Amino acid sequence: MNRTETEHVRDTSLLGFWLFIMSDCLLFASLFATYAVLGHSYAGGPSASEIFSLPFVLLETLILLTSTLTCGLAVVALYKRNREQILGWLFVTGALGALFLALELHEFVTLIAEGHGFQASAFLSAFFTLVGTHGLHVSIGLLWMLFMMAQVYRTGLTNVTERHLMCLALFWHFLDIVWIFIFSFVYLLPIIV
């Protein structure tokens, strides 16, 4: 394949993946709408301000935000075609993502242990599903990142790995954008209003 053909294939992949992400936005929009509608249906159980801790959520937010920066730095390294830097930044991103996921799981486990599980009320069902769906996406992102690190380590930078890395970065940035809205509308507003 010549240079323009390679670029055409890459742009096509990126556009396709972008459209997939746009459709994912609609998946989250449906869950957000459901949370907005059912967010006050406590059914005698706890309300948002009783079970969420703001500093804890801020910590999660900053960790994910930092991981999106390091993911961007991996892309910068990709353009410089520096394999060691790519692997390094991907590792940092993955580690931060794993930490974020661990915190989220900790929150879930604590809530369930206190009797505020997803079966307790419509509010909690909507909360667990929305945040859990985001967490599921993060987990898929982490698995993908592991796979990509192995790929880059094994074969170096080929057209295929380059293309896949750019899609992965897009995915990771998208997950951070979804989290902004979870931070604002799932945690912040229900706690203070």
Partner 1 sequence: MNIFGKLSLDAIPHDPVALAGVVFMFSAGIAALVALTYFKLWRWLWEEYLTSLDPKKIGIMYIVVAVLMLVRGMADAGMMRLQQAISVGDSFGYLSPEHFQQVFSAHGTIMIFFVAMPILFGLINLIMPLQIGARDVAFPFLNSVSFWLFAAGAGLINLSLVLGEFSTAGWLAYPPLSELQYSPGVGVDYWIWALQISGIGSLLSGVNFITTIFKMRAPGMTLMRMPIFVWTSLSSMVLVVFAFPILTATLSMLALDRTLGMHFFTTDLGGNVMMYVNLIWAWGHPEVYILVLPAFGIFSEIVPVFSQKRLFGYTSMVFATAGITFFSYLVWAHHFFTMGAGAKVNAFFGIMTMVIAIPTGVKIFNWLFTMFRGRIIFSSPMHWFLGFVVSFTIGGMSGVLLSIPGVDFELHNSLFLVAHFHNMIISGVLFGYFAGITYWFPKIFGFKLNENLGVYAFWCWIVGFFVAFMPLYILGMMGATRRLDHYDASMGWQGLFIVAGVGVCIIGLGVLFQVLQMYVSIRDRKKNIAGADPWNARTLEWSVPSPAPMYNFAHIPHVYGRDPLWARKQGIEHHEPPYTDIRMPKNSPLGLLLGLFGFLFGFGIIWHMYWLVPAAALGAIVCIVVRALDEHTEETISAAVVERIERANPSVTV
Partner 2 sequence: MNHEPKFHGYLIGYLLSVALTLIAFGLAYLHINSGHLAFSHQFLVYAVVALAVLQLYVQAVFFLHLSRHPEARYNLVSFIFTIFIVLFIVIGSLWIMNNLNYNMTADQVDAYLHKEN
Contacts of 5 (CB under 8 A, 6+ apart): none
Only one of the segments 59-67, 95-103, 120-128, 135-143 lies at the binding site for partner 2 (rule: CB under 8 A); that segment is 59-67
Among partner 1, partner 2, none, what binds residue 20 when CB lies within 5 to 8 Å by partner kind?
partner 1
Identify what 66 binds: partner 2, partner 1, none; CB under 5 to 8 Å per kind. Answer: partner 2
Would you state the torsion angle of the CA atoms of residues 158, 159, 160, 165, taken in this order, to the nearest 10 degrees?
90
Residue the block writes with tokens 């796979």: 147
Q: What does 153 interact with, of partner 1, partner 2, none (CB < 5 to 8 A by kind)?
A: none
Q: Which positions lie near partner 1, rule CB under 8 A? A: 8, 11-13, 15-16, 19-20, 22-27, 29-31, 33-34, 37-38, 41-43, 118-123, 125-126, 128-129, 143, 147, 151, 158, 160, 164
Q: Is 68 in the site for partner 2 (CB under 8 A)?
A: yes
Query: How far is it, in rounded angstroms, from Cα 55 to Cα 106?
Result: 14
**Strand segments (E) across the chain:** none
Distance separating alpha carbons of residues 188 and 61, to the nearest angstrom: 12
* Closest separation in Å from C-beta 112 to partner 2: 25
Query: Could you give the C-alpha distances from 171 to 17, 88, 156, 190, in angstroms and in order?
Result: 9, 19, 21, 28
**Residue whose C-alpha is closest to residue 9's, from 168, 166, 172:** 166
**Closest approach of Cβ 2 to partner 1, in Å?**
12
Q: Which is nearer to partner 2, 1 or 150 (by Cβ)?
A: 1
* Cα separation, 134 vs 99, whole angstroms: 15
Q: Which is nearer to partner 1, 12 or 184 (CB)?
A: 12
Distance of closest approach, residue 150 Cβ to partner 1, in angstroms: 10
> Least Å distance between CB 75 and partner 1?
19
- Provide, rounded to whole angstroms, the least separation between the CB of residue 8 and partner 1: 7
Residue 142 vs 175, nearer CB to partner 2: 175
Nearest to 15 by CA among 166, 174, 181, 186: 166
Residue 96 or 168: the one with the smaller Cβ distance to partner 1 is 168
Rounded-to-integer distance, Cα 28 and Cα 10, Å: 27
